[in-house]
Amino acid sequence: MNQAMTVHDAIFGRCSVRAFQSSPLERSTLQALLAAAVRAPTAMHSEPWQFVIVEEVALLKRLSEQARLSFVAETARLHPGRAGLEMFSRPGFDIFYDAPCLVVICAKVDTPFAAADCWLAAQNLMLQAHAMGLGTCVIGSAVTGLNAPATKLELDIPAETVAIAPVIVGRPRGETPRSARSEPHVLAWR
């Protein structure tokens, strides 16, 4: 665990991790991640974020399967004929990549910037996790499934609250190469 990693090293070293050891995370580790998440900037100091943490393996599997089916159905409806969904169409494909933990950052979206605040919190959580030797990945494909009324009920997410940023966390299994980025596209610099 290297919590003294520089911000530069955390930003440039982080990458999405999709292969995990099965060992659960310590409670103190998760608390450190949540503490970092809530240090994010927050519009009007509203701190809209609320967290659901799922570690039960059977529940993770069930949520994955529900979310996978919702994602396939929604994508087929919104983008008929879209390529690249083969993986998601495979029964049993775990959209959480068998991670031992899913953190769902939620908010009541009754202010214009609640979702922005949650995404900033997600980035804080992911950088902190990276600095602690953990791997993370945003699972946007789970958002629709997590917001299904029955799932919200099961996860104690109130009706007026929305699941915004699902992030899986765990100890990485193997090395993940960093993905490339284009140079910054500056539209104007006057």
Residues that bind ligand FMN (CB under 6 A): 15-16, 18, 137-141, 179
Q: Which residues pair with 103 in a beta bridge?
A: 53, 167
For residue 189, the minimal CB distance to ligand FMN (Å) is 25
What letters, b where the CB count within 10 A reaches 16 and e where it falls short, cover 168-189? bbbbbeeeeeeeeeeeeeeeee
* Cβ atoms of residues 104 and 166 within 8 Å: yes
Residues 6 or more apart in contact with residue 5 via CB below 8 angstroms: 13, 130, 131
> Which residue's Cβ lies closest to ligand FMN?
140
* Shortest CB 22 distance to ligand FMN, Å: 18
Nearer to ligand FMN, 45 or 166 (CB): 166
Which CB sits closer to ligand FMN, 41 or 140?
140
Between 45 and 178, whose beta carbon lies closer to ligand FMN?
178
Rounded to whole angstroms, the Cα distance separating 89 from 69 reads 8
CA proximity to 129, closest of 58, 65, 34: 34
Given the complex with ligand FMN, which of 14 and 152 has the nearer CB atom? 14
**Shortest Å, Cβ 16 to ligand FMN:** 4
How do the residues of the chain divide into helix, strand and coil, expressed in percent and rounded to 5? 40, 15, 45
- Sign for the CA dihedral angle at 69, 70, 75, 76 comes to positive
Tell me how far, at minimum, the Cβ of 190 lies from ligand FMN, in Å: 30
Nearer to ligand FMN, 159 or 180 (CB): 180
CB 60, min distance to ligand FMN, A: 15
In angstroms, give the least distance from the CB of 188 to ligand FMN. 25
> Would you say 133 or 140 has its CB closer to ligand FMN?
140
Phi, psi of 101 (to 5 degrees): -150, 140
